[in-house]
Amino acid sequence: MRLNDKVTLITGGAAGIGKATAELFAEEGALVAICDLNKSAGFETLKNLGPSSRFDLVNVVDRQAVQAWAEAVFAQYGRIDVLVNNAGILRDGQLVKFKEGQFIGQMSEADFDAVISVNLKGVFNCTQAVAPFMIRGGGGVILNASSVVGLDGNFGQTNYVSAKAAVVGMTKVWARELGRYHIRVNAVAPGFILTDMTAVMPEKVLEGMKTRTPLGRLGEARDIANAYLFLASDEASYISGVTLRVDGGILVGT
């Protein structure tokens, strides 16, 4: 029970990596509060988290909604120990796209803004809302979802890469700012992970990802959840400001 009675907030906790993390943390004794925009999946996941857990319908882009969620969780449990900023979306597209010398398209401003809003501003919103409760409580752990593409770049993902690279930077800043309050801040950079997001990709693309991974397989959501568990636990009590790659050894490139 490495997280016994630790009150943990997990954004995007209804499915994928968020769900796997919520379930693992609950197994390790945490009191888990998840939020998501998928109401049915959220309540379904809640069934696996125990009677002391909760699900809230929250858009991490909406600062007032995030603040209300943090306050409600604190009111119920009396403290907040861990925040996992997991929520994220994809809206891939090339910066500009040409074929045979003719312009045929580009990443839309709406798609750029949407990804930055959820994957970057959402992390900012949740951390800024939760940090004061941790400070008053004497400390805590904040874990941010980055990505290997935020470190290496990736074709067709200007918006996603920008957000995930910025998360790495924010993680370093917050580790410095919040360390004096005994709050550790780290990020996890997953590689290619089998989730609902990747499930819709063509089999040829998935096989390509697998062949480019030295360990010869795609990651599973539980692989990332295990990394979050370690960083949230007292075993990582002297680790702060780092970005941990969990990627099977892959180096993303052209």
What is the CA angle 193-17-40, rounded to 5?
125
pLDDT tens by residue, 151-209: 999 999 999 999 999 999 999 999 999 999 999 999 999 999 988 777 777 888 788 88
pLDDT of residue 211: 86
Model confidence at 230: pLDDT above 90: yes
Q: How far is CA 52 from the centre of its chain?
A: 23
pLDDT of residue 254: 54
Residues 6+ apart with CB under 8 A from 174: 127, 131, 142, 183, 185
pLDDT tens by residue, 88-107: 999 999 999 999 999 999 99
Cβ of 173: how many Cβ atoms within 10 Å? 11
160 carries an active-site annotation? yes
pLDDT tens by residue, 35-61: 999 999 999 999 999 999 999 999 999
What is the CA angle 89-120-188, rounded to 5?
80
Model confidence at 220: pLDDT above 90: yes
pTM score, whole prediction:
0.96
pLDDT tens by residue, 99-153: 999 999 999 999 999 999 999 999 999 999 999 999 999 999 999 999 999 999 9
User: Which CATH number among 3.40.50.720, 2.40.30.10, 3.30.1340.10, 3.20.20.210 corresponds to the domain 7-246?
Assistant: 3.40.50.720
Q: Which of 160, 181, 228, 238 is catalytic?
A: 160
Average pLDDT over residues 71-84: 98
pLDDT tens by residue, 232-253: 999 999 999 999 999 999 877 6
